[in-house]
Structure 1
Amino acid sequence: MPWLRRLFIRAPSIQDDASHCDSESDQSQIERSTATIGDMAAQDHGGIRASTKLTAERNLLRAMIDQVPDYLFVKDLDHRFVIVNQAVARIHGCSHPSELIGKTDFDLHPNAVASEFLAVEQAIIKSGSPSIDMEEEVADAVTGLKKWLSTSKLVLHNDKMEIIGLVGISRDVTVRKNANRLRDGQTLVLEMIAMNSPLEDVLDRIVRLIEEQLEGVLGSILLLDSGGCHLKHGAAPSLPADYSRAIDGIAIGPHVGSCGTAAYRRESVVVTDIANDPLWVDYRELAELHGLRSCWSTPILSHQGDVLGTFAMYSGKVRKPGSLERRLTKKIVRIAAIAIERKQAEDQISFMAHHDALTGLPNRILLKDRLTQAMLRTERHNPWVSVVFVDLDNFKTVNDRLGHTAGDELLKIVASRMVNCVRPIDAVVRLGGDEFVLLLVDLAASPDAISIILHKLMAAVTEPIAIEGHEFNITCSMGVATFPQDGSDAETLLKNADAAMYQAKNGGRDSFQFFTPEMNTKAHERFAMQDAIRKGIARSEFYLDYQPQVDLRSGRIFAVEALVRWRHPVLGVLSPAQFISLAEETGLIVPLGDWVLNEACRQNKAWQDAGLAHLSVSVNVSARQFQEKDWPGRVIRALEENGLEAEYLELELTESLLMRNVDQAIATMKELQVLGVHFAIDDFGTGYSSLSALKSLPVSRLKIDQSFVRNLAHDEDDRSIISAVISLGQRLNMLVIAEGVETEDQLAFLRANGCDEAQGYHFSRPIEPKAMADLLKLR
């Protein structure tokens, strides 16, 4: 293309451009370069016409390259600009391209930057290999803003294929570069969130991402505290540290700068001039001190619309945010909300995993961790660490009288009192139900130090508690185990403290006991027995004996009571007194009671099918069974599955069980009474009964406890009580049966006082089903 070569030949217009060079030597260098590039082709065309044509072509090409938005330039072998377009001139702060002719990068850029450019160009000229799409960061001399250029440079040859310079073209890729960096930054932030990076690191990365995109902008994220009234520091990597500390914890409100107001209004607040905006009255001096002139704040909202914090941009100039700032803000507040909500959810899950939902106290998992840490410190520094197992006495009475809501309220009150009785370094833990554990650390090596704390706690717990118009006086039983003498690991300490607590309960409650090795032995025996009961149910080791109940007027057997026995594989036959209380405590009484009920119904039906006279079978019901929600359904299933009519089943309930929640007891009993099931009050006289409640209960029989019958011969009080019970029962249209009758004298007294029925050794001991069948055949 000869016409292109002609462009570089020295022409009048080029002379005009050269007149702008800094010195005569510069001009000579340019003339030599341009003459070398061409071959003086203008003379070949001859005359004015050729010169005019060349000038027109040159002017057209100049107009073309000046219209190109990319940066075009040519350099000679001394790396001086020979040709530049208008875009190159503008980025270097020149009004005309001629102002750059003859200059090098060292005249335009810092030495470090110019040296990098020079090294690259020297390598290109030396190798002859081009450099394509090389990214360079430069500063716009007019705006001061940094720009990213994608530059390609290649050598320039003359007609003899000699290298005479290089040609460069650069494209402004700042927008694309920033978009890529923003996308990559967002991806990194989301990865950090997914990888559970600390929230402060995620927020710091978010703010830096914004600051990388914008010149002269400082970012800040503030977080709303748990109380919802103050903003605390989240991230502000570029704000002055003194300023960040000064605003940490500011209250939200209608006139609290940009951030406090944005959180209060739940909308963006743009302050273009801090010095003259009323929202900044209380903070403008602080902002001025640190050179902050404008602030634009946006609330960070959860997916439910709750305020989580604020995102703010500060500028050292009085100005409004541009479209780019507004777009970036929308992106950032969404990502920040995800990070904050994720952290809050993690904190909530962690708290729930390690704390009791009702009281907020640490739970068993956290207890073991803290106890283990405390024991490690003790091994180094030799103070005492004690575990105190706490169980509230008679807590069930609250649940039974007022329901579980009232019981929960009482537990929260007691938990708060316990926390107030211990030191901040100690811990109060709720294991569940009415069971708590105190972890006492760094104690003097003396039981007295522990005793002082426990006496204080007992006094606090026993203070009256008013709930729903009722006043309760709760006491507690406590057991203490101390490291290292009472156990070398957390599990052993807890078990031993539990054993000591049971010793306190057995000793009368409302007290505390220190662990002893004897307690440990008893605890192991108790755990072994519990496991044996569970296995015994599965292995059918339990069986029923039956004791006849006799009508005192006719002398006939009208019913039998089913009494459970345990044929233990090692200990032999065990009576209920040896295992029932433990079964009650552990909840095993429920499956055991279900078996007793089913077996009693099956056996009674078997006797009927064998042609024996139809009679009732009486089955004892425990409190744990009676409280089961589906207990009536279990009774009905037992009758149906065994084909026994409901009128031949009597359920014995203790008066203390019935008095726990009279209304509920009546409703449950009537549900079964409608079907024909009978009810008896067992051990009458040993507990507390409300007479008004007693007459409302659907009970057909009162059972006088054998403790009153036993001393009839020489205890006037017992005789009076029995006479009163017989009279009371008959007035309430109930039959009265006395248990534990063993002598003729006892029987005579009962008959004389009108007692309806009796059972005891005088008539028969509890016997196996076959023996009972033989006895029934004789009647």
Structure 2
Amino acid sequence: MSASGAHGRTAETSHVAGAVAAEEDLRALFGRSSAVFATVSGPGHVVERANPAFHAAFGVGRTGLALADVLPDVRDRGFLDLLDEVRRTGEARTDRDVRVELGSGPQAREAFFDLTCEPRRDAAGDVLGVRVIGVETTSVKHSQRLMAEHRVLLEQIARQAPLAEVLDGMARCIEELVPRELFVSVLLADPDGLHLRHGAAPSLPAFYNEAIDGIATGEGVGSCGTAAHRREPVIVTDIATDPFWDDFRDLAVKAGLGACWSTPILARDGGLLGTFAMYHRVPRVPQEIDLAIIRVFAGTAALAIERHHNELARQAAEARAEAAREALAETARAERELRAEAERRADAAAELAAQMRAAAAAHAQTPRPERCQLGGRTGCAAPAELKVADSWGDAAWGCSRHVEEVLIHVPSVFIAGEELGGLSAYLNR
């Protein structure tokens, strides 16, 4: 063996030993860290080493598994694409918010990571695999998206979008952005605070929403009825065993619900506006991020509902004011009509009085005319049937129609003639 060959093997052995030692140091460094660490090899990216955080985050139960098999659904600039590129180019890459679809079926969840991927080389410099170091940013990413959606909701409220649209959009936003599957429900309190009505629950079954629409507020009436009654959050982590759900357990089982966390929606003066609830398929205890979401969006719902109530009150006040204005205008129109009618009656009375005087003058020459004297300018060809007189002694003869007009419009006029029966003839005609 030549000295140069021995030296080469010694150098190679030292290089490999150094690489292994470095890997062990990194493994020790990240062993208890919340940061993810793993080394993978081959085109399938088989996991050789990984810390507990990596196993927990990616759902990889043990080493020796290929990430290409464990993570079948990766889109956009996904994790496997990143590993492929580093292995192909031999260049390190640091990417932020790498999206990874973890799990499958109902348990699937979207996750985001800030990842640094470095090539692992052998003594000859060839790429053996990739070293992965990263931090999961799912909570931060979702929080950012939730806050962005929250701003959108506030803008909707500010421009007075319909309450149903705001609440439905809020529910869908939370359901889509929160990592775990959940269903959001908002119930609205009746004005008397004794019952809760459907407000929004886009993902709960229709039969469930119909069944709880109008439930009473009271102790032990599910999560929402109790929360509304107590004016404080009610966290039911297991519907199957909680006594609050005795009357609704079969309904919840039919809807596939395992937990319900409800918090009252309160106005600024403490009045009950409704309830905000988060349902889960399986029993669950809320984490701090869950409680934060509840506080933020229950407050948003309160703002939307109170704004809606204020708008309804404003519209009702405007409607009352408009009704009062219309009533006042109608009164004024009626007064004008009455005044005009009074003026017409006064004119008619004056004209009839003039006719009475003219007829009285004619009566002096013709005590009993054959024709009606009260027909005015146009005259009247009807036979003279009745005699009328006033308190001044003026008298005239007229037909029954014109006599009635005179009796109605001219004060102090009475039927005076006895020749044809007088008053009795008029009344019995």
User: Would the TM-score normalized by the shorter structure come out above 0.5?
Assistant: yes
Paired residues in the alignment total 337
- Does residue 1:43 correspond to 2:43, yes or no? no
Task: Quote the offset at 1:61 in angstroms.
Answer: 4.5
**Contact 2:185 / 2:277 at 8 angstroms: preserved in 1?**
yes
Identical aligned pairs, as a percentage? 32
Give secondary structure in 2 for the equivalent of 1:185: helix
User: 2:149 is matched by which residue type in structure 1?
Assistant: G
User: 2:144 is matched by which residue type in structure 1?
Assistant: N
Question: Which residue does the alignment assign to 1:151?
Answer: 115
Match of 2:96 among 115, 133, 140: 133
- Does residue 1:252 correspond to 2:214, yes or no? no
Correspondence list, 1:86-485, <5 A: 86=51, 87-94=53-60, 96-97=62-63, 99-100=64-65, 103=66, 105-111=67-73, 117-123=79-85, 130=93, 132-139=95-102, 146-155=110-119, 165-211=129-175, 212-213=177-178, 215-353=180-318, 355-357=319-321, 363=322, 429-431=323-325, 434-436=328-330
User: 2:248 is matched by which residue type in structure 1?
Assistant: Y
**Contact 1:300 / 1:311 at 8 angstroms: preserved in 2?**
yes
Q: Which digits, 9 at most, give the CA deviation of each residue in 1:448-505, with x for residues without a partner?
A: xxxxxxxxxxxxxxxxxxxxxxxxxxxx89xxxxxxxxxxxxxxxxxxxx4x873355
TM-score scaled to structure 1, two decimals? 0.38
Measure, in 1, the Cα distance between the counterparts of 2:44 and 2:245.
54
Match of 1:506 among 311, 318, 340: 340
> Kindly tell me: are residues 154 and 323 of structure 1, through their superposed partners in 2, closer, same or farther at Cα, counting changes over 3 Å?
closer
> Kindly tell me: are residues 307 and 42 of structure 1, through their superposed partners in 2, closer, same or farther at Cα, counting changes over 3 Å?
farther
Task: Quote the offset at 1:42 in angstroms.
Answer: 8.9
Give secondary structure in 2 for the equivalent of 1:356: helix
**Contact 2:78 / 2:98 at 8 angstroms: preserved in 1?**
no
Task: Quote the offset at 1:328 in angstroms.
Answer: 2.3
**Contact 2:236 / 2:260 at 8 angstroms: preserved in 1?**
yes
Q: Which digits, 9 at most, give the CA deviation of each residue in 1:105-159, with x for residues without a partner?
A: 3321225559954444445555666352242133269x86543212233555667
**Contact 2:68 / 2:80 at 8 angstroms: preserved in 1?**
no
Measure, in 1, the Cα distance between the counterparts of 2:45 and 2:250.
51
> Kindly tell me: are residues 84 and 69 of structure 1, through their superposed partners in 2, closer, same or farther at Cα, counting changes over 3 Å?
farther
Q: Which digits, 9 at most, give the CA deviation of each residue in 1:159-200, with x for residues without a partner?
A: 766655544333211222222123222222212212222212
5+ residue gaps, structure 1: 1-38, 358-362, 364-428, 437-475, 478-497, 510-712, 716-779
> Kindly tell me: are residues 316 and 73 of structure 1, through their superposed partners in 2, closer, same or farther at Cα, counting changes over 3 Å?
closer
Measure, in 1, the Cα distance between the counterparts of 2:73 and 2:18.
42
> Kindly tell me: are residues 131 and 259 of structure 1, through their superposed partners in 2, closer, same or farther at Cα, counting changes over 3 Å?
same
Measure, in 2, the Cα distance between the counterparts of 1:356 and 1:507.
31
5+ residue gaps, structure 2: 344-390, 394-429
Question: Which residue does the alignment assign to 1:471?
Answer: none
Give secondary structure in 2 for the equivalent of 1:186: helix
> Kindly tell me: are residues 208 and 111 of structure 1, through their superposed partners in 2, closer, same or farther at Cα, counting changes over 3 Å?
closer
Q: Which digits, 9 at most, give the CA deviation of each residue in 1:501-558, with x for residues without a partner?
A: 733553369xxxxxxxxxxxxxxxxxxxxxxxxxxxxxxxxxxxxxxxxxxxxxxxxx
Give secondary structure in 2 for the equivalent of 1:324: helix
> Kindly tell me: are residues 170 and 57 of structure 1, through their superposed partners in 2, closer, same or farther at Cα, counting changes over 3 Å?
closer
User: 2:69 is matched by which residue type in structure 1?
Assistant: D
**Contact 1:132 / 1:152 at 8 angstroms: preserved in 2?**
yes
Task: Quote the offset at 1:311 in angstroms.
Answer: 0.8
The answer to which structure, 1 or 2, has the higher relative contact order (CA under 8 A, 6+ apart) is: 2
TM-score scaled to structure 2, two decimals? 0.65
Task: Quote the offset at 1:303 in angstroms.
Answer: 0.5
User: 1:174 is matched by which residue type in structure 2?
Assistant: T
Give secondary structure in 1 for the equivalent of 2:325: strand
Correspondence list, 1:4-15, <5 A: none
Give secondary structure in 1 for the equivalent of 2:31: helix
**Contact 2:74 / 2:100 at 8 angstroms: preserved in 1?**
no
